[in-house]
Amino acid sequence: MTSDLTPTGPVIPDRIRSARQLRGLTQREVVDSMPERHRVTPAALSQLESGATSPSPGTVRGLAVALDVPEAFFRARWRDDDLLEGRAPTFFRHLRSTAKRDRMQAEAVAGLVFDLVGLLKADVRLPEVDVPNADVGMDADADEVIEAALLVRHAWGLDDRPVDNVVRLIERHGVPVVRLHLGKAKIDAFSVSSHERPVVVLTDDKWAYARSRFDAAHELGHLVMHRDHQPGSMLLEKQAHIFASELLMPTEVAAEVLPTRMDNSGWRQLASLKQEWGMSMAALLMKCRAVGKISPSAYVNAMKAMSARGWRQTEPGDRELGPPERPVLLKRAVRRAAEELDLEPDEYLRLSGLPVDDCRELLVHQRPAVDL
């Protein structure tokens, strides 16, 4: 166990870029925010980020002010080199339609999660990573994807029961999960497939329990099936959707319990299954079509009926299910590590060189309140 937390040594160029992306800023915006006596040009900042030049102590102070991070953040080497240099694949649901700046900011948030993981492993023992590897090709059919999901169900002892808590299940098998408010409509959730320890980032922008569970299961699908694939293919996203559906409700169960007609009785049946299995009515309808319980045309008509009733945004039963599942792994790990060193959690983070407010949001995020 170590009590010498504060990073020392030279400034790491990529840490400057990471801090800038965490704030969602351009190089011009950064230099404009630096104190005048420490200000550099955008061209000089570009050279600093590339490692072509090294910053003076004054420049480091100016960057820390502009980017609202501790000076020690630029020297911290908590994550491994692949992550530090952005070589780990990141799976975004809407890669092509997500602005580059938004992607960079989201990836910088994930980088902060990896910083926390790297920091913690010196002081606490996190659960071993236990994610089955069931790589499937780009041309894999639905049956292969279903087999991958069933492999996970079997390996993790789920049998044919509903998954009690998807987020807790993923964390229990060594994958840190964080939830935060990104404010980016195109970023539902994403995952970073590091071979040492992958992470999953969920957002609360939808704030729907069932849909968020599906997002978590979808990202797990990427970690199980696509760890050696390059992100960006809609085929991979479709596979992750099939995986999530099967993980949450196996096909054999679906064939027994799903309705065959979307009349009033069928809708009531879906509402009941939603509460039992933690799946949205929209996802259950897709499952009905996938297992042949309803025809493709009946599915289209049912989705039109959901739209007409305003259920595509808020479904019946959402309020009863409550808020989305909350991650606990990193929060508890930071608390335990701080206790072992006789520190408060905020002080533990401060000494590590990480931005305390950003880490606190990752660990104990609360949905923004509206003041009246």
- CATH code for the domain of 35: 1.10.260.40
Residue 90, pLDDT > 80, answer no
Are residues 68 and 157 located together in one domain of the fold? no
The model carries a pTM of 0.89
Q: Is residue 322 a part of any domain in this protein?
A: yes
Same domain, 328 and 372: yes
- Cα–Cα distance measured from residue 111 to residue 90, given in angstroms and rounded to the nearest whole number: 11
Q: 56-62: long-range contacts (C-beta < 8 A, 24 or more apart)?
A: 60/11, 61/35, 62/34, 62/35, 62/37, 62/38
- Predicted confidence band of residue 1 (pLDDT cuts 50, 70, 90): very low
Confidence of residue 368 (pLDDT cuts 50, 70, 90): very low
Confidence of residue 96 (pLDDT cuts 50, 70, 90): low
For residue 282 the two structure tokens come to 């929209």
Domain boundary among 47, 77, 107: 77
Q: What is the mean pLDDT of residues 276-280?
A: 97
Check whether residue 151 and residue 267 sit in a common domain: yes
Q: Please check whether residues 235 and 206 belong to one and the same domain.
A: yes
Which whole number is the average pLDDT over 258-272? 96
Residue 241: C-alpha distances to residues 168, 209, 213, 236, 348 (Å): 20, 17, 12, 9, 39
Identify the DSSP state of 203.
E
Range of the domain at 241: 88-372
Q: Left if phi > 0, otherwise alpha if psi is -120 to 50, otherwise beta: which for 310?
A: left
What the block records as the tokens of 355 is 């931005």
Contact (CB, 8 A) for 214 and 184: no
In 10 A of CB 139, how many CB atoms?
7
User: Which of 78-87, 100-109, 135-144, 179-188 has the highest mean predicted lDDT (pLDDT)?
Assistant: 135-144
pLDDT band at 3 (very low <50, low <70, confident <90, very high): very low
* Alpha-carbon torsion angle 322, 179, 210, 215, nearest 10: 180
Q: Are residues 238 and 157 in the same domain?
A: yes
Q: Is residue 311 part of a domain?
A: yes
Q: What's the pLDDT at 186? A: 57
The tally of domains found in the chain comes to 2
Render pLDDT for 26-78 as a digit per residue (tens, 0 to 9).
999 999 999 999 999 999 999 999 999 999 999 999 999 999 999 999 999 88
- What is the CB neighbour count within 10 angstroms for residue 159? 8
Q: What whole-number percentage of the chain has pLDDT above 90?
A: 72
pLDDT, average across residues 133-138: 91
Same domain, 116 and 250: yes
Shared domain for 32 and 127, answered yes or no, is: no
Answer yes or no: are the C-beta atoms of 237 and 93 closer than 8 Å. yes
pLDDT of residue 194: 73
Asked if the structure places residue 82 within a domain, the reply is no
| Residues 25 and 127 both lie in one domain | no
Q: Tell me: pLDDT of 315 over 90.
A: yes
Residue ending a domain, among 57, 77, 97, is 77
Whether 83 maps to a domain, the answer reads no
Q: Are residue 16 and residue 111 in the same domain, yes or no?
A: no
Kindly state whether residues 138 and 199 are assigned to the same domain.
Answer: yes
Q: Identify whether residues 191 and 311 lie together within a single domain.
A: yes
Work out the pLDDT band at 289, boundaries 50, 70, 90.
Answer: very high
Other Cβ atoms closer than 10 A to 358: 20
State which of 22, 54, 77 marks the end of a domain: 77
| Cα distance between residue 178 and residue 326, in whole Å | 8
pLDDT value at position 122? 84
Quick one: 95 and 39 in the same domain? no
